[in-house]
Amino acid sequence: MNPIPATAPASDQLERLLLRMSRKDEAAFRELHAATRRKLFCTILMLVKRSYLAEEILQEAYVRIWVNASTYRPTLGSPMVWMITIARNLAIDTARKSTREVHADDAILTGFADDSPTALETIENREEHDDAINYRRNIFVALQALDPTKRHLVIAAYIDGESRNRLSERYGVPVNTIKTWIRRALLEVRAALEAGVVAANTRQMV
């Protein structure tokens, strides 16, 4: 069988490759990968905007294509449309997941010392301005008390806006490890802030 042109693979050729892949034909998978990789990568990149993340999603997309090759039917659309749908759905899910993770970690930050004024309350209530300054100072002190790696991770993620995937590459550890380090660091900061609030209240009572 002649290789499929990488620029414009024909639907019937892709269908035959998918059929062979349903029988676990690895040579068929290699041909399909070579013929469709560029198109799928561009599709994913348009959604996630980062090439390293697009590469990760692309790998997962091909895993799903390999595993689900036997489920393909022409009624689902052309083979290319079917594969693009798989890749797009993965890219969209990854983008949404990243947003949820950032919001979840942000919730930890915004949950620190619930009785401290927020930025909006400070604007609306000028008499609380001093309390807000003290609160920010306490956060800075709590961050300085962290292990340097954890402190750098929090600053990179929340001040520099770096993604968990990028930090994973920089530190050479899995993404889940980065997420765990950041979450633990935030919890340590919260604990330090809460301890500071208790100490301040105790001093006021003396």
Please list, in sequence order, all residues whose beta carbon lies within 8 angstroms of the beta carbon of residue 187, skipping any fewer than 6 positions away.
Answer: 108
Separation CA 153–CA 155 (nearest Å)? 5
> What's the pLDDT score for residue 24?
87
| pLDDT tens sequence across 80-95 | 999 999 999 888 887 7
Separation CA 25–CA 66 (nearest Å)? 10
> What's the pLDDT score for residue 84?
92
| pLDDT tens sequence across 164-203 | 888 888 778 888 888 888 888 888 888 877 776 434 443 4
Per the structure block, which two tokens stand in for 14?
Answer: 């892709």
> What's the pLDDT score for residue 14?
92
Tokens 């994913």 — which residue? 44
Q: E-assigned strands of the chain?
A: none
Per the structure block, which two tokens stand in for 147?
Answer: 């292990």
| pLDDT tens sequence across 5-61 | 444 468 889 999 999 998 989 899 999 999 999 999 998 888 888 887 888 888 888
Per the structure block, which two tokens stand in for 171?
Answer: 């530190």
> What's the pLDDT score for residue 37?
92
Give the burial string for 156-182 (b: 16+ CB within 10 Å, else e): bbeeeebbbbbbbeeeeeebeebbebb
> What's the pLDDT score for residue 184?
84
The full set of domains in the chain, from first to last, is 11-95 (1.10.1740.10), 111-205 (1.10.10.10)
Q: How many CB atoms lie within 10 A of CB 61?
A: 26
> What's the pLDDT score for residue 3?
42
> What's the pLDDT score for residue 127?
46
**What mean pLDDT, rounded, does the chain reach?**
74
Q: E-assigned strands of 29-173?
A: none
Give start and end residues of each alpha helix (H) in 49-78: 51-67
> What's the pLDDT score for residue 193?
74
| pLDDT tens sequence across 123-166 | 445 544 555 556 667 777 777 777 777 788 887 777 667 788 88
Tell me which DSSP letter residue 7 carries: S
Separation of first and last alpha carbons in the chain: 87
Query: Can you give the length of the chain in residues?
Result: 206
Rg (CA), the chain: 25
Categorize the per-residue pLDDT at 109 as very low, low, confident or very high, splitting at 50, 70 and 90: low
Q: Is the pLDDT of residue 118 over 90?
A: no
> What's the pLDDT score for residue 98?
56
Separation CA 118–CA 128 (nearest Å)? 10
